[in-house]
């Protein structure tokens, strides 16, 4: 299946709507494309990694992040704003006894601004259906084996709420600076399908 959907019916409707907005003078020609391109250029897993590294190094930031993520990520000049709709962000933290993993069972809702474009597997029907029923097996297929006593919580993202996982901080990283810690965090770690 091709990633180019320019001939899809929804793409034709979007182009028609853009033309109408431009013809009526409500939008400067090309402005929507420029805004989208600028947004996508800023969308990166490095944003989520910065959030995690700050939570690891600043316990107060970490506690506030779990309580009110949208307000707290603004301190890092980040947001979930990606167009007209602003989604809520919930941050969940892994512990030695609990592991979190994120899925969107209905489609592929995902915090694009903080994790960059979603991986292909995240959108697959297999991942979306199986991680809810058999999360331990799915994580094992990613090469991530959890101890049997670790409880796995699966968080189902939707149009209103997106999730980000704060992975366990790796042992032996106590002397690393925040920037060095951020470099250890991967997109899969932010989704919960890989350790850091």
Residues annotated as catalytic are 104, 107-109
Plot region of 48 (φ>0 → left; ψ -120 to 50 → alpha; else → beta):
alpha
Helix 45-57 crosses helix 59-67 at what angle (to 10 degrees)?
120
Is the distance from CB of 80 to CB of 163 less than 8 angstroms? no
Contacts for 187 with CB less than 8 Å, ≥ 6 apart: 45, 48, 115, 116, 119
Is the distance from CB of 190 to CB of 117 less than 8 angstroms? no
């Amino acid at each position: 299946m091709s990633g180019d959907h320019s001939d899809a019916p929804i793409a034709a409707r979007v182009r028609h709507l853009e033309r109408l907005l431009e013809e009526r003078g409500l939008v400067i020609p090309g402005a929507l494309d420029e805004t989208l391109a600028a947004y996508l250029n800023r969308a990166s897993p490095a944003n989520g990694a910065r959030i995690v590294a700050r939570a690891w190094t600043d316990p107060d930031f970490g506690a506030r992040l779990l309580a009110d993520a949208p307000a707290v990520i603004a301190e890092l000049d980040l947001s979930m704003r990606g167009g007209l709709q602003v989604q809520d962000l919930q941050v969940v933290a892994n512990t030695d006894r609990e592991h979190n993993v994120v899925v969107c069972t209905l489609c592929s809702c995902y915090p694009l601004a903080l994790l960059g474009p979603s991986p292909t597997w995240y959108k697959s029907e297999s991942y979306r259906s199986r991680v809810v029923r058999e999360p331990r097996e799915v994580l094992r297929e990613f090469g991530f084996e959890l101890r049997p006593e670790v409880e796995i919580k699966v968080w189902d993202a939707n149009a209103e709420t997106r999730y980000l996982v704060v992975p366990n901080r790796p042992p032996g990283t106590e002397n690393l600076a925040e920037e060095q810690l951020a470099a250890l965090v991967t997109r899969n770690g932010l989704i919960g399908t890989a350790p850091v």
